[in-house]
Structure 1
Amino acid sequence: MTHQEGHVRPQIGMLPSLQILRFIAAFSVVLYHAGSGLAVEYGGINNPFFFGTMGVDIFFILSGFIISYSTDASRGIGHFLHRRFARVVPLYWLLTLAIILVALIKPNMLNSTVVTVETVVKSFLFIPFPKPNGTLQPLLFLGWTLCYEIFFYCLYALCMLWRGKADILCPLILVALVTMHEIWPHGSMLWHFYFNPVLIEFALGIALCQIYRRSAFFQAGSDAIAVLLVGAACLLYWLVSNLPVHQVVAPSIFSTLVVSGFLFWRSPKGAIASLLVMLGNASYSLYLIHPYFIQAAIKIFGKMMGTVALTAAVAVTVALTILLSVLIFRLIEKPLQKVVLKIGKTPMTKPEMGTATGI
């Protein structure tokens, strides 16, 4: 792949703009859960951070893009799956084990967690199950997004059997699965879960990657176009937020525009950009751990503080959780990943910018 002279950009593993976007996406989900918890505590007020759910859609678009861009088909399916699972599985399993221990020792601390042999096995295998509150999730409740990630990795790996065709076959199959879901809406809970229209976002990420790889103009970058695309995404979200189409189409279009905008963003520089890149490295840890600390803060301080004080306490909890996620990334997540990669002698390259997952 060539670049226009004078506009050479770093490889995908070094694109700081996507690292920054990973943190923004994770932080938006954090805000959503903080807002939801406070809204319930305050008696059913509207969540001011309702837009935070878009962070998950951005993650799925990023996953499709990065998997398509970073995968070396010549290394084989085993190499691909090994690297993907090394990125996602160790920390997820460790935190799932922590949830199991808490549920067994202090079951009243977790609202809808029921530990049985079935729920434990399904959780470790990334298979969601119905919880008492009606949701379909593994024990680590945000693991529902990882169930989609693992499904996507396995499907992409299967498509790699046709050398050089994965980026064509995988999106087509994803679209076909979603179409089947819409045509036949009477299947089981797992049918509705795994063939959910959200799968389209992985396909959109792959398509965006193909456009990026073939466009020297895209690769050259433009801060003005970056701002235009992100602004267009926000305007679109605002315009359709009260329409029925919002929940079906808008999140995917919004997320695709945002990821495109950040791809156009020329390499960010300065201390703030460096800080955000560092936080982007820890976005997976932040994403998985934050709900439990927010819920704990609301439970502990909710009955002893007024509205302003509780909001401040939750804000401090969010800040401390972000700091903790950086420590977890450096002391637990990254070392675990290295250990797993060494097992199969798969060398880990430079900061993986989510080369396994957008999260």
Structure 2
Amino acid sequence: MNLPKQEKQYLPIIVVLRGLAALAVCMFHFTKEFVNEDGLVRAVFRNGWMGVEVFFVISGFVIPFSLLGTSFRFYHYFKFMKKRFIRIEPAYLISVVLVVILSYAASQTPGFAGEPFKMSIGLLIQHILYLVEFFNNTWLNPVYWTLEVEFHFYLIIGLLIALWNLKKRWLTIASIIGLFSVSFINQDVITFFKYTDIFVLGILTAFYKKEQLGLKPYIASLLIVSFVVYDSHGIIISLLTLATATLISFASSYGNVKSLIFLGNISYSLYLLHVPIGVKIVNLSKRLDLNETSKYGVILVALSFSIFAAWLFYKYIEKPSHQWAKKVKFN
């Protein structure tokens, strides 16, 4: 049997939040160390990097939401991983190739002042297998570390949902508490461990939205986890991730704004490409003697080129991958 229609449920607020999170991360990278530190634009986007935490809450929500209460079982796990790989890997791997080409080309341009571009087969394999941090190497694109975190989450969440669907409720709850508790480990073992509390906010929200968790227990759990997020990541991230979970829970009918829906649809491609394209444009402009107004123009150009490239990437690479992934059925 195939999964029922729950897998295809669509929440516009998720798409909107993805678009806003991707835009925030872009603007953080475009304005960082470029525009006036005391200016309004820099002040607005100084914490734009926190869009990553919004992505983690969304990821914590989306997969449990699609699988809870369905026929998904342990014997579907490898097809689940196959489905995730088909959905996200083609865009990621092609972006890696693009980063290598653009980084090499940039290092050959006159006036290049950065470190010489270095690439090896070993580093490429580490990127493919998400092992860069385990070899103490540097990611070719600074946003790639988050994909490793997401990959580790995929390895775990499929097992947890299969456990819940088998009616092993207390064992699942204990496992989620164990996952949550990993965030208390005060050591740099695996980066994913630092963010398990944020993923749990999304997991709890999925359980609530699928009516596997009542309103009062949900709110109580949300507040407890948010306090831990505050202790681990600070007040701003705690409030931001709590707000994200709350919006998903209670504002799901909102968000039919075409521009934001568009950004949300291309958000993954935009996230992958804004550094090799947009940041490269910003860095090239640093060779010029620009006033502050001109710098804002450069940022607009960088954002426009990044969005256009992301749209092409989404249309010809990411979207076909989504269609391909849909053909993988949990029989």
Partner residue in 2 for 1:267: 253
Q: In 2 relative to 1, CA 217–245 (structure 1 residues): closer, same or farther, beyond 3 Å?
A: closer
Partner SS, residue 14 of structure 1: coil
Say if 1:106 and 1:32 are closer, same or farther in 2 by CA, change over 3 A. closer
**Counterpart among 32, 36, 39 of residue 36 in structure 1:** 32
**For 1:78-227, what aligned pairs fall within 5 Å after superposition?**
78-104=78-104, 106-107=106-107, 114-129=118-133, 137-159=138-160, 162=163, 164=165, 165=168, 168=173, 170-179=175-184, 181-182=185-186, 185=187, 191-196=189-194, 198-214=195-211
Q: Across the two proteins, how many residue pairs are aligned to each other? A: 296
Q: Determine the C-alpha separation between the residues in 2 that align with 1:104 and 1:301.
A: 18
Counterpart-to-counterpart distance in 2, 1:157 and 1:217: 22
1: CA distance, partners of 2:254 / 2:265: 15
Q: Hey, what's the Cα distance between the residues in 1 that align with 2:267 and 2:152?
A: 21
State the alpha-carbon separation in 2 of the partners of residues 121 and 29 from structure 1: 26
Displacement of 1:23 = 0.3
Aligned twin of 1:320:
305
Q: 1:346 is aligned with what amino acid?
A: V
**Distance apart, 1:318 and its partner CA:** 0.7
Q: Distance in 1 between matches of 2:105 and 2:297?
A: 30
Q: Would the aligned equivalents of 2:61 and 2:206 in 1 still touch at CA under 8 Å?
A: yes
- Which letter maps to 1:310? K
Structure 1 contact 23–279 (Cα < 8 Å) conserved: yes
- TM superposition score normalised by structure 1: 0.71
TM-aligned CA distance change 1:79 to 1:192, over 3 Å:
closer
Report the Cα distance in structure 2 between the residues aligned to 1:208 and 1:216, rounded to whole angstroms: 9
2:223 alignment counterpart = none
Aligned identity (percent) is: 22
SS of the residue 1:38 aligns to: coil
Distance 2:177 2:78 in 1: 23
State the AA in 2 paired with 1:147.
E
C-alpha distance 173-112 of structure 1, shift in aligned 2 (>3 A): farther
Q: TM-score, normalised by structure 2?
A: 0.77
The DSSP-based 3-state class of the residue aligned with 1:320 is helix
C-alpha contact 1:93 1:124 (8 A) present in aligned 2:
yes
Cα distance in 2 for residues equivalent to 1:79 and 1:96 = 25
C-alpha distance in 2 between matches for 1:18 and 1:160: 20
Contact 1:155–1:170 (CA<8 Å) still a contact in 2? Answer: no
Unaligned residue ranges in structure 1 (runs of 5+): 1-9, 219-235, 237-243, 349-359
Aligned-partner Cα distance in 2 for 1:256–1:199: 14
Task: Give yes or no for contact 2:16–2:261 (8 Å, CA) kept in 1.
Answer: yes
Q: CA deviation at 1:259?
A: 3.1
Amino acid at match of 1:207: L
Moved more, 44-53 or 285-294: 44-53
Alpha-carbon distance change, 82 to 279 in structure 1, aligned in 2, over 3 angstroms:
same
The 1:310–1:148 alpha-carbon spacing in structure 2 relative to 1, beyond 3 Å, is same
Give the RMSD, CA atoms, in angstroms. 3.3
What residue ranges of structure 2 are gaps of 5+ in the alignment? 1-5, 216-225
1:256 corresponds to 2:242: yes
How far off is 1:269 after superposition?
6.8
Counterpart for residue 222 of structure 2: none
| 1:279 and 2:263 matched | yes
